Amino acid sequence: MTDDNSRKSAITTIVTFVLLNIIWTGALTSAADQHLISPNSDIVTEYRFDGPDILGKEIPFHVFYEINEVEGMGSSEVTIELQLSDGTIIEVYSGISNVSSTETYALLPGPSSFLITIKQDGQIYPVPSDIVEIDLRTEMELYTPIRIEGYVFANILALILIVTDRTLRSWAKSRRLKRGSPIVRKLRQEWKEVEKSISGGDPVDVDDLLSESTSASNLMSKRRNWSVEETEPEPEQEEGDQDMEDADAELESLDELGEGDESRLQGKATIDDDLDTISDLWDKLGDGQNKRRGP
């Protein structure tokens, strides 16, 4: 892995961990609020609700209330109590109307309820909404009890995402390396066909061998040209007489061959018992060329 890729991988790892921890920190500040009684609604003397079960832990529970007299009515005695799932009764407020406050408790999982009692002149008033107005709201911090567990889970999730991403990238890279380049795959396929024919498999048509040989020769020529272009050009030798001598020698070799035909290049190839490997094939091709050129 190059230094650039290592730097990118490190930055990605840090960003992933930081981002997931920021998301969890933001979730901790959220709360589930509920408006139980509004000023213009009827007052329910017993309001039941369920405390959520977050790994069996207590949940921070905030109670907001405001109690006012109805215009033209005298003061009243108001009692608000919170009964928890274990039977414990907590007195939220007890006193006269025209008051507002906020209280915080630890809410247990399971069914709980608010108990509201309105008295006037020492007697329970049958219709409390006729003499008082109550605004009662609650908020529950659902994720605070599992603050530590949330951070641990966020970091484990970040680690899983990073390991999975690197595993998939490594797997994809190994597949690309195994497949190789298109040119290498083509040459490998062509040589497999030649080996199959030499070892006694299906015969290969001469035209196919010629086309394959031509493509391989072209590829080797291109590689030689690339290697020559990369090196500095050497000083050119004197031309003229040398070129004429080479041309005369080539013409003499062609005259000795005489006029040929394509009879031996047509039809299907026959199996030569002397050919066992590809090296034998190259050696035989080299001997044939030496015989045509002469000593």
Instruction: Give the H/E segment covering residue 149.
Output: helix 147-179
Residue 295: the pLDDT is 47
Q: What sign results for the dihedral spanned by CA atoms 181, 182, 183, 188? A: positive
- The residues, any chain, with a CB within 8 Å of residue 66's CB and separated by 6 or more, are 39, 99, 100, 134, 135
Residues of the chain with pLDDT under 50: 204, 206, 209-210, 228, 230-232, 235, 289, 291-295
How many whole angstroms separate alpha carbon 206 and alpha carbon 266? Answer: 7
How many whole angstroms separate alpha carbon 266 and alpha carbon 244? Answer: 36
Residue 293: the pLDDT is 46
Q: What is the pTM of this model?
A: 0.51
Quick one: which of 98, 94, 108 has its CA closest to 60?
A: 108
